[in-house]
Amino acid sequence: MAAPSTSPSLPPSLADAVRDDASLRRFLHGLPGVDQVGVEQRAAGLGTRSIKKASKLWAIDAAIGMVDLTTLEGADTAGKVRSLCAKARRPDPDNPDVPRVAAVCVYPDMVATAKQELDGTGIQIASVATAFPSGRSTLKVKLEDTAFAVESGATEIDMVIDRGAFLSGRYGQVFDEIVQIKHACGDAHLKVILETGELATYDNVRRASWLALLAGGDFIKTSTGKVSPAATLPVTQVMLQAVRDWHTATGERRGVKPAGGIRSTKDAIKHLVAVHEVAGPEWLNPHLFRFGASTLLNDLLMQRRTQLAGHYSGPDYVTVD
Amino acid sequence: MSENRIGVAKTYKLYIGGAFPRSESGRSYPVSDAKGAFLANAAQGSRKDARDAVAAARKAFPGWSGATAYNRGQVLYRVAEVLEGRREQFAAEVAAAEGVALKKAQQLVDAAVDRWVWYAGWTDKVATVLGAANPVAGPYFSFSVPEPTGVVAVLAPQQSSLLGLVSAVAPVVATGNTAVVVASADRPLPAVTLSEVLATSDVPGGVVNVLTGRTEEIAPWLASHADVNALDLTGAPEALRAELERSAAGTVKRVLRPRPSEDYLREPDLGRLRAFVESKTVWHPVGT
């Protein structure tokens, strides 16, 4: 097993976990099980919080600032990426005070186009890599995929884990892969996609979260958006618990990114409530929490207009993507 | 059945997107007949119900407006068939709501069914009347065709609970629009039954959405809603009309003003069909 490239000062218990395959397995299987009923009930409870008026406006602006505006279609063209970047810079041209989104997320071959458009704006360029979305390829190809994206100018890499290896219990292999990709990323931030829709249980989500954190992922991300169910509130909550516990153990804050399936402002605000209550207010920040989304942004903008104008808005008043 | 059986008092719900949800606000209000006796409870719709209804109508619009005029005619004719099947229930409800004799109520229901058939017949004929092949000075064909306006908010007549309602809703959907209907506040039961008819006929969910409640509470939200394309003010309270027109102007809605004391028993003209269509003109080069 390769040594993790980050966190050289892991506390003894965690340093022990990554010593070899067997201890990694022992550590992951020693994690406390997730109380399924409890976590779903808590998520449903937090979802009933009523966020109104000034708090709602704040939440909408915060959520816009946390959006990774995403286009991951086979039909993507340079033109589409350019218009997406324009939207990222100025989400609502009628209201220049709308904050910019956190990042634009594209396939590696579109990174150069996005970089041209976003240079100097402070908007991050995220690229999926490692044979997204299935992750079914050789490590060599995945590393080259990553290196290509980074060379083209990506500042954040969204990698997928090998779910086949994870589900067959080959944790060491998954760990090594993340460590090597992290190394290939250089200065770019690494987001590790767990694809929770394929992990079947909350226990597996917790294990995969810890595995990714131990291997040096800067963010843990729920899904590719290509598998249903994608990001659900309870899953996000389990992952938020993992980063909170990581912070308790190491003093270091890592991020969470739910992606896929969050389409309405209401969903986004429910997630923000969960972030505040489960991880803590420090996580309400684009450096530590992101939404992977495309249609969500339009709904946020419509809700923002509704809040400010005092009447309901409609899709005719936001861009068609 | 025993003499002292207690009747089942109904609490009706809204009709949004093909489903019958309770009002988001959880409110309902008692509906009385013309003499003041309790009839049933109706849901008291709120602004959020109006918002949901508009979203449902918008979702249904591409399918309904994209259907062929012939198909829309068939679907609407089927509604008339189901209406006819509920003739006795409608007659009882209209008699109770409007305080007319049963015989008069039956006449009103028959007129409503005929009105629905009349508009169903217009679906595939309206384009030839409102459209045109325009004479132009150049080597072009120029056609104008009527296209549906979009989502239409209909404030149904307050007095004529079924015939007036049908006369307002049928022309809106006949041309391919989708509708959000605010039923008569004091006489909502025929509208509720009409929504049950729509749900069990072939009209796709969301094409007609029926809200019950206080018109003066819901109407301003529909008038200002940016995703509503037109507003039928027929059932708007007199005092509110100017204000509703003003806020409708904010998003350039088509507004249909009510005619003073409309007699719904008379055969209508094309006015209501014409009110909610837009003319699209196409130029096409002639010959080779």
Angstrom distance (rounded) from CA B279 to CA B156:
25
Task: Read off the pLDDT of each residue in B252-267 and give the average, rounded to a whole number.
Answer: 91
Please give the CATH number for the structural domain made up of B28-285: 3.40.605.10
Q: Does residue A185 contact residue A158 with C-beta atoms inside 8 Å?
A: no
Q: Percentage of chain B surpassing pLDDT 70?
A: 99
pTM value is 0.91
Chain A residues inside the 8 Å CB shell of B253:
none
Nearest Cβ partner for A313 among B58, B226, B247: B226
Residue A128's alpha-carbon distances to A186, A236, A250, B9, in angstroms, are 15, 20, 28, 59
**What does pLDDT average to over chain B?**
95
Query: Does any CB of chain B come closer than 8 Å to the CB of residue A52?
Result: no
Topology of A12-52+126-294 in CATH? TIM Barrel (3.20.20)
Angstrom distance (rounded) from CA A142 to CA A130:
4
In this prediction, residue A5 carries a pLDDT of 47
In the stretch 186-225 of chain B, residues with CB closer than 8 A to chain A read 221, 224-225
Integer-rounded Cα radius of gyration of chain B: 20
Backbone angles phi, psi at A22, to 5 degrees: -65, -40
Task: Give the confidence band of B275 by pLDDT, cuts at 50, 70, 90.
Answer: very high
Mutating which of B227, B246, B252 best tests the A interface, going by the most A Cβ atoms within 10 A? B227
In this prediction, residue A321 carries a pLDDT of 76
Q: Across chain A, where does the E strand assignment appear? A: 67-70, 103-106, 124-128, 156-160, 189-193, 219-221, 255-257, 291-293
Query: Does any CB of chain A come closer than 8 Å to the CB of residue B227?
Result: yes
B127 contact partners, CB below 8 Å, separation of at least 6? B69, B145, B146
In this prediction, residue B259 carries a pLDDT of 87
**Angle CA A269–B58–B207, to nearest 5:** 130
* Residue A253 burial (10 A CB sphere; 0-12, 13-18, 19+): middle
Nearest CA-CA distance, residue A315 and chain B, Å: 7
Query: Does any CB of chain B come closer than 8 Å to the CB of residue A307?
Result: no
In this prediction, residue A3 carries a pLDDT of 54
Q: Does residue B232 contact residue B155 with C-beta atoms inside 8 Å?
A: yes
Nearest CA-CA distance, residue A310 and chain B, Å: 9
A312 and B58 within 8 Å at the Cβ level: the answer is no
Active site residues of A: 158, 221, 257
Nearest CA-CA distance, residue B120 and chain A, Å: 30
Query: Does any CB of chain A come closer than 8 Å to the CB of residue B142?
Result: no
Can you give the residue ranges of every domain in chain B? 28-285
Chain B residues inside the 8 Å CB shell of A314:
54, 58, 225-228
Nearest CA-CA distance, residue A314 and chain B, Å: 4
Given a cut of 60, whether residue B144 has pLDDT beyond it is: yes
Query: Does any CB of chain B come closer than 8 Å to the CB of residue A311?
Result: yes
Mutating which of A311, A317, A320 best tests the B interface, going by the most B Cβ atoms within 10 A? A311
Q: What does each of the 321 residues of chain A score in pLDDT, given as a tens digit?
A: 655 544 457 888 899 899 999 999 999 999 999 999 999 999 999 999 999 999 999 999 999 999 999 999 999 999 999 999 999 999 999 999 999 999 999 999 999 999 999 999 999 999 999 999 999 999 999 999 999 999 999 999 999 999 999 999 999 999 999 999 999 999 999 999 999 999 999 999 999 999 999 999 999 999 999 998 899 999 999 999 999 999 999 999 999 999 999 999 999 999 999 999 999 999 999 999 999 999 999 999 999 999 999 999 999 999 887
B58 and A313 within 8 Å at the Cβ level: the answer is no
In this prediction, residue B248 carries a pLDDT of 96
Residues B27-80: tens digit of each pLDDT? 999 999 999 999 999 999 999 999 999 999 999 999 999 999 999 999 999 999
Mutating which of A263, A312, A320 best tests the B interface, going by the most B Cβ atoms within 10 A? A312
Residue A113's alpha-carbon distances to A18, A108, B221, B234, in angstroms, are 39, 10, 43, 54
Residues B73-105: tens digit of each pLDDT? 999 999 999 999 999 999 999 999 999 999 999
Residues B200-232: tens digit of each pLDDT? 999 999 999 999 999 999 999 999 999 999 999
In this prediction, residue B288 carries a pLDDT of 62
